[in-house]
Amino acid sequence: MSVEAREARQPWILLSPALTAVGLLLFVPLLFIVVYSFWLRTASGADQVGFYLDNWNEALTDAFYRDILLNTLKIAVITTIVCALMGYPSAYFIARSKGNKPLLLLLLMLPFWISYIIRTMSWINILGVSGALNTLLLWLGIIDEPIQMLYNETTVILGLVHYLLPFMVLNVFVSLDGIDTTLEDAANSLGATRWQAFTQVTLPLSLPGLAAGSLLCFVLGAGTYITPLVLGGPTDAMFANLVFEAIITQLNWPLGSALSLMLLVVLGLLVMIYNRYLGMAQLMKGLG
Amino acid sequence: MMAPLGWQLIRGWAILVYLFMFLPVAVVVLLSFNASQFGSFPMTGFSFRWFVELWNNDAILRAFQTSMILGALTAVISTTLGVLASLALVRYRVPGANAVTTMLIAPILVPEVVLAVALLLFLNFLGINKSFTLLLFGHVIFTLPFVILVVQARLVSIRRDVEEAAMSLGASPMQTFFQITLPLMMPAVLAGGLFAFTISFDDITGTLFWKPGGVETVPTQIFAMLRNSISPEINALGTVMIFLTVGLPLLGAAIARKISNKGGT
């Protein structure tokens, strides 16, 4: 074998274990559930192999699934907007701060390292019937008995925002930090006000970071089922909860496959649109 | 300088956001030292009793052990796969490198619930039921993209001429790799491994699908305990987790910095 041929083969030898793992543990399983979604769960509990459209028919036409899907998207949109409103100014503050930037960023990223389930349940300590807020309000005499603030859609969104905000801050920070600050000075010297300089120079330049952060918040938020289980009420199920119900509780795996694929297509479309217009590079900058 | 008023508003807003992020966590730590037998306010005194109870709780200790073993194995496998793939992508001109990278990070582009369902159903079809093996496969595939992103970012900064110098002085490719490349890569490898461990240790979304009955990791154990009511024991466990997951990466970063400092400038 020539030296060139060996040189050309080497990277593939290094890549093969990882590519094999992703192929066998992700791509083949995804294809497999496409097939599985056309099988049928019979009354006896066995899966009937074949080509049945029943699961898809149920998943796509039943108003129950449609409503929960729409509600899931609504929750994800609100979460993303709140993350942007809270995260953008914070990232701006860190990026333009005269102080210790890495420390400020590290501080805001620390919760990112703290366990998701701990952070989610920590809100029970704050908003629960005997939580910090009720205790404070009682002590101040504003209320006479504890109010139930937990287990509704608002607390689900609150939990999601607390979970996802670091993703937004990091992505916006990365793109703000890469903007030459003399551009703003130039705009100012040409007669623009601070606000104009921000809205016409800095904000447009930081949009890729805002878009990357928003995509992450939306996709991760729309795919969660733990937060509604911990902070939501009985009627606050999100779409991933339906998947969990079908697979783990009802053991209806063909239907669960169809529901999973629905979620994948809806969120995948979004990722693809993003990739088409903005590319994956920005997203990786924020993750790496 | 920014207009003082605007800047002050931004700073005030940022401080509120910092508080929002930290207050709930601080309350968990505070309540874990609460002497009261209910896991809530008011604080009745300072006590370590919940940590002692934690230590005597077999279910939690077992969950801890499972999480540690699972995290360590995940880190070793995921880092090995990830470092090899990153070396290929950084050191060689791979045709279609972009497509390869997208494929390798696909596990984080797919919603974790969908990944969990697909893997569970497929491996079950192959005869691998819910088991530790399934958990391990799941955690490896889910952490691999993070390892690749972290290691790749660090690898880019290692210069190639040191290796070329070693080779020109007569070192074999093997010697060069183990005596030059690997030591230089060590901070990247450690960072990747630590990242994989932390993500595995923290995972609950996929774990709930993959874990066999009776086996719990720390997050699923906490989740199961939440079903009853919030007890000070959960807060104590939370405090331990907070110190572990925040302390370990900080320690790792410190070690990595020390190693890279020692490695010369």
Cα–Cα distance measured from residue B232 to residue B238, given in angstroms and rounded to the nearest whole number: 10
Query: What pLDDT was estimated at residue B230?
Result: 67
Q: How many domains does chain A have?
A: 1
Question: A255, A41 in Cβ contact below 8 A?
Answer: yes
Q: What is the mean pLDDT of residues A268-274?
A: 89
State both tokens at B174.
């093997």
Question: A79, A157 in Cβ contact below 8 A?
Answer: yes
Question: B221, B63 in Cβ contact below 8 A?
Answer: yes
Domain span at residue A234?
Answer: 53-287
> Which of B67, B110, B223, B228 best tests the A interface by mutation, with the highest count of A CBs <10 A?
B110
The answer to whether residue A263 sits within a structural domain is yes
Cα–Cα distance measured from residue B100 to residue A19, given in angstroms and rounded to the nearest whole number: 8
Residues present in chain B in total: 265
Backbone angles phi, psi at B39, to 5 degrees: -80, 50
Q: What is the mean pLDDT of residues B70-83?
A: 97
Query: What pLDDT was estimated at residue A287?
Result: 57
Is it the case that residue A16 has pLDDT exceeding 50? yes
Question: A257, A33 in Cβ contact below 8 A?
Answer: yes
What ipTM score was computed for the predicted complex, to two decimals?
0.91
Any chain B CB within 8 A of the CB of A270?
no
Q: What is the mean pLDDT of residues A248-273?
A: 94
The answer to whether residue A20 sits within a structural domain is no
Q: What is the mean pLDDT of residues A72-90?
A: 97
Confidence of residue A242 (pLDDT cuts 50, 70, 90): very high
pLDDT above 90 covers a percentage of chain A that reads 60
Is it the case that residue B159 has pLDDT exceeding 80? no
Query: What pLDDT was estimated at residue B3?
Result: 55
Cα–Cα distance measured from residue A112 to residue A164, given in angstroms and rounded to the nearest whole number: 8
The answer to whether residue A9 sits within a structural domain is no
Cα–Cα distance measured from residue A190 to residue A113, given in angstroms and rounded to the nearest whole number: 44
> Which of B15, B34, B87, B121 best tests the A interface by mutation, with the highest count of A CBs <10 A?
B121
Confidence of residue B264 (pLDDT cuts 50, 70, 90): very low
The answer to whether residue A265 sits within a structural domain is yes
Which run of H or of E encompasses A40? strand A40-41
For residue A47, what is the DSSP state?
E
Is it the case that residue B235 has pLDDT exceeding 70? yes
Beta-bridge partners for B46: B34
Mean pLDDT for chain A overall? 90
Question: Lowest-confidence range among A190-194, A209-213, B55-59, B109-113?
Answer: A190-194
Is it the case that residue B157 has pLDDT exceeding 80? no
CATH number at residue A198: 1.10.3720.10
Confidence of residue B40 (pLDDT cuts 50, 70, 90): low
State both tokens at B63.
């969950």
Measured between beta carbons, which residues in chain B are less than 8 angstroms from residue A89? 10, 13-14, 17
Query: What pLDDT was estimated at residue A104?
Result: 87
Question: In the CATH scheme, what is the code of domain B57-262?
Answer: 1.10.3720.10
Is it the case that residue B245 has pLDDT exceeding 90? no
Question: Lowest-confidence range among A189-193, A271-275, B255-259?
Answer: B255-259
Measured between beta carbons, which residues in chain B are less than 8 angstroms from residue A82? none
Measured between beta carbons, which residues in chain A are less than 8 angstroms from residue B115? 26, 29
Q: What is the mean pLDDT of residues B182-204?
A: 90
Quick check: A122 and B24 CB within 8 A?
yes
Query: What pLDDT was estimated at residue B265?
Result: 38
Question: Lowest-confidence range among A197-206, A228-237, B99-108, B254-263?
Answer: B254-263
State both tokens at A147.
């109010």
